[in-house]
A and B are shown apart, each in its own frame.
Chain A
Amino acid sequence: MRCVGRAGRCAPRELRVPRIHRGDTIALASTAVIPSTRVESSGADRPLPRALVARFAEVVGESSCISDPAALRTYECDALAGFRVRPGLVVLPRSTDEVVAVVMLARAAGLPIVPRGSGTGLSGGALPVPGCVVLGLSRMKRILEIDLDNQWMRVEPGVINLEISRRLAPHGYYYAPDPSSQQVCTIGGNVAENSGGAHCLKYGFTTNHVLGATMVLADGAVVQLGGPVLDATGYDLRSALVGSEGMLGVVTEVVLRILRAPQATRTFFATFPSTSEAGQAVSLIVAAGIVPAAIEMMDRLAIRAIVAATGVDWPDVGAALLMDVDGTAAEVEHTASEATRLVREAGALEVRVPRDPTERDVMWRGRKSAFAAMGRISPNYVVQDGVIPRSDIARVLLEIEGLSARSGLRIANVFHAGDGNLHPLILYDAAVPGQEQLAEETGAEILRMCVRAGGSITGEHGVGADKAASMAEMFSEDDLATMNLVRCAFDPETRFNPGKVFPTPRLCGDRPGPYVAHTAELAGLAGRG
């Protein structure tokens, strides 16, 4: 949740004093602890032995093997730039075979592996573990296969989200999940985080669009989960994989569902005196049986920041909704006019319809730049991501307002109103002693509000390093232990991304029971993996 600086991206030039010192028993969030023994055994205090680095370089090539301390800084964090840990090594493989070789080498050397895409994650999912191997997938960026007739494609994990829709656009198809970072984030990262986006209200999340995957397990085995044909027999392991935050293995290919573009999309922007009327508008639209492609809400502070950052000509009002309805032209004609009527009924001050696609893009760019825009109105800010039942929006926003008043920190709200996914942005000044801590505490209190309301501690940013402690507020020990069973089935050595998601360190114990070969396997008809 901590997002320091304006860009919030991890880059050598904006290095701050690391919060976490290598060799320490490090605390991620408040209670997620990576045992220091792991740190010691990997020699985290020192650079990795040259001979070992050379073996990785043999696999991926010198130029794809980064061990220079200055160059490693780029990989010390993801977009949660307040947490920094220097990895032992960064490798950037170009093929599944290279990934296998890297995994085997890391395993032999006893090094943890932290997979990474573009590093745009907001929860520290790609935060290195001291001395680990960061396995960056950014060079595996080929689009391998497109099958429009059957509506799927196969891509490598380093392909940029928006690149997929760009490639499909000339054919009239697209890939639905559209996280705000879609210009830079990778599909592999989307799979790890089960990324959403504004349009997931109607079209679902990454998990609803991943048909299959090829992944490399901790023992170097390459496995296929699912595929272009639906309902592969056996457990739906793809469901466990999507959203597993890099803790089960390394995805090296993904099969995606692709959709035919809708015939028509209608966007409108409506302003309201306050968030209560805007919330009421959302409720009326949903109650009318309309499923908009997206409904985004912004409050006054968020609108001001967006105006300051992007120059859109939005008025200074208490709240605004940006909404898309899509479908066939005739259907959209109906839903758009009905939604407009309901928005007015709820007390809209003004309803604007973009005149052309350019104006529409400007509106959406405004919304999608909301987080970065906070830099215009505050030196620092914390991005929070929590979910509440939609019907509770008005009440929870009032509670957040109260929290803002009590803490003295301004809180801007930008969120996916259709599914109750809040993104409060807590503004603070790191130069004022105690404010950073206060901002973090305020963010944690908002998460507790979400849990009390029956919601979730994260709707799309993931748990990562940042919210591991909050998992215990949402799930019981038994719930967490059961999730750990899934992880241990994939990665019994907890080699991948250790220390994330779970509030306390967890190991897997002995592998239960002997492996029993399937009869067909014994007959030589099928192999392992």
Chain B
Amino acid sequence: MATTSRPGEVRDAVAGAVPERVFEPVNADECTEVMAREGGRIGFIGGGTELALGSAPAALDAVVRTGRMSRILEYAPADMVLIAEAGVTLAQVQAVARQEGQMLALDPPLPERATLGGLVATGGFGPRRARYGAIRDLILGVALVRADGVLARGGGKVVKNVAGFDLPKLLCGSLGTLGLIAEATFRLHPLPEASATAMCAGLTAAQVVALMADARQAQLEPSSGVALRGGGGFDLGIRFDGFAAGVREQVTRMGAIARAAGLSCEIVADDAAARRRHDQARVAGPLRVKLTALPARLAEVDALLAPVLAALAGGSFAWYPSLGIGFAGGEVADEAAASAALAVARAGLVAAGGSLVVEAAPPGLRSIDPWGPPPPAFALMTALKQRFDPDGRLNPGRFVGGL
């Protein structure tokens, strides 16, 4: 027997549910064996960076940990394609790719812990999504172990491929409710030769929106932007990556555009400090929320969020200004106020076509539905879930609307 289980412990909990048994398979074949044999309710754990995400599963009989599935199976630098097992960490991939002057263009926080399987399941991303797209735009192929233990592959290992339905993309963000992601294939990008960031401090929401619009009008091509909320407004970092000559020219022009708008921006070669602040905002807790809205509506988002931040002690808010996605979080100082403010903020964002997802919450706020109202295509999502997992055994109840 290749795979045996051990009793589950508190550290194996998924969204608060402690499993009876824990399996730690070493490859996709062992995963199929575990899934075929384990007839109960199953959750999955990769690096454990998003275990608080989602509603608590009703109960879990078993958890499959992918940490021992840690091999990079194939890496063809000339083709810029990498295939790896689910438990490989992002940092591991970057270290290997860096040696060939390449990278996986994903920059979520906690790369030392975050695994590829977990990133696919949660749809993980960081600021670079502005230029390179989300994980769905980088994934090429997937090996999925279904609830019935069948191993199915989708996609392929070439960038261009339209053979069959796009399973790899469909699985992005499905939170382990359609199957166990055992292996994934990604396209890589060249590591930029140079980087520079224009840091502009103390902006209003309107100024953030206007400055980004000016940059676009000037045909600048930033690789990412992060607006961090501080006491004096937003500190906006606009980063440029590429060949040295191009980066220098772009960041200089960005500075001039900001000055013309009456703002002062500092040009920094290394934005590590800002990046650390961003990462802290992304992993802040115990309350963490993700907000989405059209990028130009930042002022409304900021106003809706203000009462939430006011109910936190040391709350933070990071906004990706070209994507229209933000993350807020911190210690909850006043639970009743936070709860009421979250409801108002969610209603406002949903009314504007966006969303508010509670990614993590302290015990006192766990009665809030983490996902909010069901999306318009909820019936179709239910049908999809039933096709893939007819007995509702995979992360039962954790995803949107109890999927």
Enumerate chain A interface residues (CB-CB to B < 8 A).
147, 149-151, 172, 193-194, 196, 200, 204-205, 207-208, 217, 221, 223-225, 227-237, 239-240, 242-244, 260-263, 283, 286-287, 289-291, 327-335, 387-391, 416, 419-421, 454-463, 467, 471, 474-476, 478-483, 485-490, 492, 501, 511-513, 515-516, 518-521, 525-526, 528-529
Contact = CB atoms under 8 A, between A and B. Distances in A.
B146 interface: yes
Nearest to B157: A454
Contacts of A291: 189-190
13 contacts: A149-B213, A149-B296, A230-B292, A244-B165, A289-B190, A332-B246, A387-B161, A391-B76, A420-B79, A420-B158, A454-B157, A479-B164, A516-B402
Interface in B364-403: 371-388, 390, 399-403
B357 interface: yes
Interface string B187-214: 0011111000000000000000000010
A227 B101 CA distance: 36
B324 interface: yes
Contacts of B352: 229
A151 B154 CA distance: 31
A233 B355 contact: yes
Contact of B156 (A221, A227, A455, A490): A455
Nearest to A213: B377
Interface of B: 76, 78-81, 101, 123, 133-134, 136-137, 144, 146, 150-154, 156-167, 169-170, 172-174, 178, 189-193, 213, 216-217, 219-221, 242-243, 245-246, 248-250, 290, 292-296, 323-325, 352-355, 357, 371-388, 390, 399-403
Contacts of B152: 476, 478-479, 481-482
A516 B382 contact: yes
A140 to B, nearest CB: 20
Contact of B380 (A149, A237, A289, A459): A237
B402 to A, nearest CB: 7
B384 A486 contact: yes
A467 B162 CA distance: 11
B135 to A, nearest CB: 10
Contact of A455 (B158, B174, B325): B158
B318 to A, nearest CB: 15
Nearest to B78: A391
B377 A224 contact: yes
The interface residues of chain A, by DSSP majority, are classed as: loop
B379 A263 contact: no
A235 B381 contact: yes
A194 B191 CA distance: 28
B105 to A, nearest CB: 11
B159 A419 contact: yes
B365 to A, nearest CB: 18
B378 A150 contact: no
A231 B169 contact: no
Contact of B401 (A261, A263, A327, A520): A520
B164 A239 contact: no
A233 B166 contact: no
Contacts of B190: 289-291
Given A223-B377, A289-B190, 5 more contacts: A230-B325, A290-B190, A330-B246, A489-B383, A513-B386
Nearest to A457: B163
Interface centre among A204, A230, A521 (most CB of B within 10 A): A230
A49 B325 CA distance: 54
**Shortest 8 CB-CB contacts between residues of A and residues of B:** A331-B246, A289-B190, A239-B169, A330-B249, A482-B152, A263-B219, A391-B78, A456-B161
A419 B160 contact: yes
Contacts of B189: 291
A516 B163 CA distance: 33
Contact of B384 (A261, A420, A489): A489
Contacts of B324: 150, 229-230
A521 B374 contact: yes
Contact of A335 (B161, B165, B178, B243): B243
Contacts of A208: 133, 137
Nearest to A473: B163
A526 B401 CA distance: 11
A456 B164 CA distance: 10
A334 B243 contact: yes
B295 A150 contact: yes
A227 B167 contact: no
With most chain A CB atoms within 10 A of its CB, the pick from B80, B159, B219, B293 is B159
B294 to A, nearest CB: 4
Contacts of B154: 479, 482-483
Contacts of B76: 389, 391
Contact of A490 (B136, B221, B243, B380): B380
B372 A231 contact: no
Contact of B167 (A467, A486, A513): A486
Contacts of A481: 150, 152
A309 to B, nearest CB: 26
B325 A478 contact: no
Contact of B293 (A229, A283, A485, A519): A229
Nearest to A501: B164
Contact of B163 (A262, A463, A511, A512): A463
Contacts of A217: 380
A515 B382 contact: yes
B389 to A, nearest CB: 10
Contacts of B159: 419-420
A239 B134 CA distance: 12
A84 to B, nearest CB: 24
A460 B383 CA distance: 29
Contacts of B401: 234, 518-520
Nearest to A123: B162
Contacts of A458: 161-163
Contacts of B402: 516, 518-519
Contact of B170 (A236, A332, A516, A528): A236
Contacts of A263: 219
A276 B352 CA distance: 55
B80 A239 contact: no
Contacts of B377: 223-225, 234, 237, 529
Contacts of A224: 376-377
B359 to A, nearest CB: 12
A330 B250 contact: yes
